[in-house]
A = this chain, B = another copy of it.
Amino acid sequence: MASEVYIAGVGMTKFGKSDRSLAELMVEAATKAFAESRVGSIDYILIGVMNAEEFTGESNVAAMIADQLGLSGVPSSRVETASSTGSAVFESGLYAVASGYHRNVLIIAGEKMTHLPTARTTKILAEVIERRERSYGASMPALAAMITQRYQYEAGLSAERMQSILGKVAIKNHYNGSLNPFAQFRKLVSETDYHNSKWISTPLRAYDCAPITDGAVAVVLTSDKRLIKISGIGHATDTLAVRHRDSFTSFRSTRLAAYQAYSMAKVNPSDISLAEVHDAFTMFEIIGTEDLGFFPPKQGWMALEEGVTSIKGKLPINPSGGLKARGHPVGASGLAQIAEVVWQLRGEVEVRRQVPGARIGLTQNIGGLANNNLVIILERTDRYRAIPVYWKPQFDPGWPEPKEAFDPDPEVGTGTVETFTTIYTTPEGIPSPLHLAFVRTDLGQTILTRSREGNLEIGLKVQFEKEEDFIYIRPISSPATVSDSIKQWLRTTLSPPKRKEENP
């Protein structure tokens, strides 16, 4: 049985555009966390940063930060799992303390991004995407946009309704952010602001995407009893390529991680007082609340519309403002979620933002395009929580197996559009606008394609044409002729051949 690990201190810089270096931001966060931790010494340092190499030209960050802290001598390692780095480094800290090797571990996560041009940043962030999908020009917003387009279709929503829902996520999180002194954006966003914001990749607007941010967060973990303990943790990967997955609109990695975290903590979704959910894109917050078992699949938007996830609702989601309003320094966001939950559980946040009586909080952090996700559950230790002897999780991950990967792509043939987008903010070196679509071939393989025209629709029958390493699609029937029977066929064929999962 693993021993208990407690949170002794948290610290955070203001998120936003900063003139300070990554090291300076990390030192500020660490100094704050150490100051409130009341631990005598630090035995081990863990640094979370996604890509200091390309964002700042620095390598060897673990040693650099130990030195900058005046702690040279103390062991220091860096942990990275793309945009879930902040949670993965926390997980490593948990193991280091639970193992008995270290008593007090200082965890620092940060990222410095705002000094680069947006196209360059978009390109660096796109390196987390599977190489083939990336080569087509897919950026993180483009993939999120196609997931949104598909969600709208599967939930049976009109384009106008979908826009209104996404807007409500942004408006809610910006309201919460306006109350958070650490947030990058502190001003309210109106429906008009949302609808006037520019397209990044249809149907996602600028206000659907978390901003580019500098910032750092630190946490001190200890084996000595404190008010907040780590009560559950889950971590799971998924296929790198989005096209290799069974579903566009539910993340297997979240569901697997949530199942582990709930089982370890012996809590159910209904026990959670508040959650910080990875809203790098507004759509991801809604999918997150479904994958975490808070709401049934394709119904998370209803809870949002009903105000359940508002700060004074039954289950506040992102009371901090989330990645959307607090900001998203990629390697730091997971640890910022944890900091918010700690403050909420301690009852330390400003009263309008405080979730009253919060006892158990959850964070969900997405790595890459949802292929390395973590779910963490924190709990107050000051009141006894009775756990039935025969406790069983009421959460069914029900995760689908990944698809059979049949690369390479076919060069001829026909298929049906599964989802699509038009990207306006393309990565460095890719012309804008760019039309992309995931297409299911008649043999049952999903591929990413480009289109010369933006006249796409889910269910559209298309023909492939190879040109300069890319598969382009051309409609072979007008959208109007896609009969309901084909749509029906599409739905029934969405369960692909199973792959037997084997160890290497």
Instruction: List A residues at the B interface (Cβ < 8 Å).
Output: 1-3, 27, 30-31, 34, 41-42, 44-45, 50-51, 53-54, 57-60, 62-64, 66-67, 69-82, 88, 91-92, 94-101, 106, 124, 127-131, 235-241, 244, 252-253, 256-257, 367-368, 371-372, 399, 402, 499, 501-504
A99 and B367 contact, Cβ closer than 8 Å, known pairs A236-B73, A372-B63: no
A70→B405 CA distance, assembly (Å): 10
Best-buried of A51, A59, A94 by chain B (most CB within 10 Å)? A59
- Contact yes or no, A74 B237, CB < 8 A: yes
- Contact yes or no, A367 B31, CB < 8 A: no
Q: Which residues of B contact A239 (CB under 8 A)?
A: 67, 72
Partner of A75, one of B75, B237, B499: B237
A58 and B238 contact, Cβ closer than 8 Å, known pairs A63-B367, A101-B2, A371-B72: no
**Cβ-closest 9 pairs across A and B:** A75-B235, A60-B128, A98-B99, A59-B127, A2-B100, A63-B371, A99-B99, A63-B372, A60-B82
Best-buried of A2, A34, A60, A98 by chain B (most CB within 10 Å)? A60
- Contact yes or no, B100 A101, CB < 8 A: no
A80→B51 CA distance, assembly (Å): 11
A34→B502 CA distance, assembly (Å): 12
A491→B241 CA distance, assembly (Å): 61
A294 to chain B, nearest CB (A): 22
- Contact yes or no, A70 B367, CB < 8 A: no
A475→B77 CA distance, assembly (Å): 42
A131→B63 CA distance, assembly (Å): 13
A458→B44 CA distance, assembly (Å): 38
A95→B76 CA distance, assembly (Å): 14
A73 and B504 contact, Cβ closer than 8 Å, known pairs A53-B51, A59-B124, A60-B128: no
A503→B100 CA distance, assembly (Å): 21
- Contact yes or no, A34 B504, CB < 8 A: yes
Chain B: CB-nearest residue to A69: B504
- Contact yes or no, A72 B402, CB < 8 A: yes
Instruction: Apart from A62-B81, A63-B82, A73-B501, list 10 A-B contacts with CB within 8 A.
Output: A53-B127, A54-B54, A59-B124, A60-B372, A63-B238, A67-B240, A71-B503, A73-B252, A73-B399, A95-B98
A383 to chain B, nearest CB (A): 26
A371 and B60 contact, Cβ closer than 8 Å, known pairs A77-B92, A101-B2: yes
A3 to chain B, nearest CB (A): 8
Q: Which residues of B contact A101 (CB under 8 A)?
A: 2, 94-95, 98
A454 to chain B, nearest CB (A): 29
Q: Which residues of B contact A106 (CB under 8 A)?
A: 504
- Contact yes or no, B503 A42, CB < 8 A: yes
A256 and B372 contact, Cβ closer than 8 Å, known pairs A60-B240, A63-B238, A66-B237: no
- Contact yes or no, A60 B92, CB < 8 A: no
Partner of A504, one of B71, B82, B97: B71
A206→B375 CA distance, assembly (Å): 49
- Contact yes or no, A504 B31, CB < 8 A: yes
Partner of A63, one of B42, B64, B237: B237
Best-buried of A34, A42, A67, A402 by chain B (most CB within 10 Å)? A67
A23 to chain B, nearest CB (A): 10
Chain B: CB-nearest residue to A5: B99
- Contact yes or no, A63 B81, CB < 8 A: yes
- Contact yes or no, A503 B367, CB < 8 A: no
Q: Could you list some 21 contacts between A and B, CB below 8 A?
A: A1-B100, A2-B100, A60-B129, A60-B368, A62-B372, A63-B81, A63-B368, A63-B371, A64-B130, A66-B372, A67-B238, A67-B239, A70-B503, A73-B236, A73-B252, A73-B501, A75-B235, A76-B372, A77-B80, A78-B79, A94-B101
- Contact yes or no, B76 A79, CB < 8 A: no
Chain B: CB-nearest residue to A80: B78
Best-buried of A31, A99, A257, A501 by chain B (most CB within 10 Å)? A99
A302→B238 CA distance, assembly (Å): 55
